């Protein structure tokens, strides 16, 4: 047995984001155990002023583990890493004619292991689950989460079972098999996959890492917020556009900003957060514009942006809260506009984005034209993944 080497994590406990109930940190949890609540659990940290400074970050590794004080893993030996995070922020200079006086930046998450930002959440979730003794994982996925879980499970020497819609481009299926995971193709959408995965988890005792039904993928994804702040010299953009499926990213980035304010590294200014959905699954948009606290199940079938085919996000309430608290907005985009935007980004900027990321470029142009985004503002688009796995969808 190797000797324990502390990460310096300041993690103290978990807390239900709705009812405030506290849960201890050293056992496995899914969601709030109160049957009438069942909301998501968030990791809480106890900041000590002498532990880390902005300056101190400069010598840290170029991965999300540079923020290890604000991550839940406590023993370094449990960190399962493939070099995720610290992705570049690129200005879109060649598309300036569309920007009409705005500065448009793109954070390129396609540079992550397995080609998407899902690597962040699963690096942290697999690491923490390993620390708590998990041997076998199960996940429902629209594609990228399955590949990422399979890769991190392989690296950790643990088992992974993946439930993926049959209508997912073949690259997503092939990569999971190459990583040694067991894949079950489901004739349905991610909700159908989630139901099956949940049943198998209960029967076989596998650990279910469905989006926001365990607390640590959120911790991995929040690191995008830490990076955006650090990479932009602690000046947040005016507007952020995020392709919203289950919403881990948007909820996580918002959590990061709160934590950074508590530490005193940023002030109280926040970007206006925009959720961008597919026309196929735009329940958040409808709820946002109707002032509803939750979204309704909505699925109109296939979209080339498979990551956005989420009929009813588990954390819909939290996503809507972020949009409202930030004076944000919600829009949805159809496949033909996504495809045009993808080609425009590729041919002008040399970026082959995931269709989910390309949707943001179309949404930016629409919000810019309508005047919702104003001249002089800085806008950050979060390209969540690489287009290379989607060639079946976009050719
Ligand atoms: C999963 C995924 C999304 C949606 O992410 P959430 O955090 O679940 O909202 C967006 N884009 C890509 C490429 C994805 O794989
Ligand atoms: Zn609760």
Model confidence pLDDT, tens digit, residues 204-223: 999 999 998 999 999 999 99
Please tell me the predicted confidence (pLDDT) of residue 172: 97
User: Distance from the CA of 354 to the center of ligand 1, in angstroms?
Assistant: 10
Characterise 301 by phi-psi region: left (phi > 0), alpha (psi -120 to 50), beta (else).
Answer: left
Q: How confident is the model over 270-319, as pLDDT tens digits?
A: 999 999 999 999 999 999 999 999 999 999 999 999 999 999 999 999 99
Q: Is the pLDDT of residue 15 over 60?
A: yes
The average pLDDT across 354-374 equals 98
Ligand closest to the CA atom of residue 246: 1
Q: Going by CA atoms, what residue is nearest to atom 5 of ligand 1? A: 245
Domains 89-114+220-394 and 118-216 equal at CATH topology level: yes
Please tell me the predicted confidence (pLDDT) of residue 1: 54
Characterise 335 by phi-psi region: left (phi > 0), alpha (psi -120 to 50), beta (else).
Answer: alpha
Ligand 1 pocket member 303 (CB < 6 A):
no
Please tell me the predicted confidence (pLDDT) of residue 68: 96
Ligand 1 pocket member 387 (CB < 6 A):
no
Residues 6+ apart with CB under 8 A from 311: 189, 190, 191, 281, 283, 297, 298, 299
Going from N- to C-terminal start, the domains of the chain cover: 11-78, 89-114+220-394, 118-216
Which comes out higher in pLDDT, residue 97 or 150? 150
Ligand 1 pocket member 109 (CB < 6 A):
no
Ligand 1 pocket member 9 (CB < 6 A):
no
Ligand closest to the CA atom of residue 143: 1
Ligand 1 pocket member 356 (CB < 6 A):
yes
Tokens of 74: 């406590």
Which CATH number among 3.10.129.10, 3.40.50.1370, 3.40.50.1100, 3.40.50.720 corresponds to the domain 89-114+220-394?
3.40.50.1100
| pLDDT tier at 395, thresholds 50, 70, 90 | confident
The average pLDDT across 129-145 equals 97
Q: How confident is the model over 156-207, as pLDDT tens digits?
A: 999 999 999 999 999 999 999 999 999 999 999 999 999 999 999 999 999 9
Ligand closest to the CA atom of residue 381: 1
CATH topology of domain 118-216: Rossmann fold (3.40.50)
User: Distance from the CA of 246 to the center of ligand 1, in angstroms?
Assistant: 7
Between strands 378-383 and 22-24, the pairing is unpaired
């Amino acid at each position: 047995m190797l000797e324990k080497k502390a990460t310096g994590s300041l993690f103290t406990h978990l807390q239900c984001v709705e009812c405030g109930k506290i849960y201890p940190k050293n056992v496995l949890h899914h969601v709030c155990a109160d049957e009438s609540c069942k909301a998501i659990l968030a990791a809480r940290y106890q900041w000590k002023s002498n532990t880390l400074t902005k300056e101190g970050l400069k010598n840290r590794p170029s991965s999300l583990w540079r923020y290890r004080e604000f991550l839940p893993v406590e023993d370094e030996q449990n960190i399962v890493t493939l070099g995720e995070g610290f992705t570049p922020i690129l200005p879109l200079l060649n598309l300036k004619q569309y920007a009409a006086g705005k500065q448009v930046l793109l954070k390129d998450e396609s540079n992550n292991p397995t080609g998407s930002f899902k690597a962040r959440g699963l690096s942290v979730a697999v690491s923490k689950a390993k620390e708590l003794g998990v041997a076998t994982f199960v996940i429902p996925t629209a594609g990228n989460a399955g590949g990422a879980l399979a890769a991190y499970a392989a690296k950790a020497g643990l088992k992974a079972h993946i439930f993926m819609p049959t209508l997912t481009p073949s690259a997503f299926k092939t990569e999971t098999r190459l990583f040694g995971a067991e894949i079950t193709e489901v004739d349905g959408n991610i909700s159908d996959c989630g139901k099956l995965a949940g049943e198998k988890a209960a029967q076989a005792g596998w650990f279910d890492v469905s989006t926001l039904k365990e607390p640590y993928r959120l911790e991995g994804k929040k690191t995008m917020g830490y990076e955006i702040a650090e990479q932009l010299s602690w000046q947040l953009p005016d507007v952020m556009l995020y392709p919203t499926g289950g919403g881990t990213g948007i909820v996580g980035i918002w959590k990061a900003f709160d934590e950074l304010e508590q530490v005193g590294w940023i002030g109280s200014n926040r970007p206006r957060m925009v959720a961008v959905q597919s026309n196929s699954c735009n329940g958040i948009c409808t709820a946002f514009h109707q002032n509803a606290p939750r979204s309704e199940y909505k699925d109109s079938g296939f979209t080339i942006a498979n990551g956005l085919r989420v009929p009813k996000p588990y954390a819909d309430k939290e996503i809507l809260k972020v949009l409202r608290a930030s004076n944000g907005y919600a829009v949805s985009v159809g496949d033909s506009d996504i495809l045009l935007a993808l080609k425009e980004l590729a041919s002008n900027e040399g970026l082959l984005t995931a269709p989910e990321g390309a949707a943001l470029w179309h949404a930016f142009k629409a919000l810019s034209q309508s005047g919702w985004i104003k001249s002089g503002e800085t806008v950050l688009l979060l390209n969540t993944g690489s287009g290379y796995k989607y060639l079946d969808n976009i050719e």
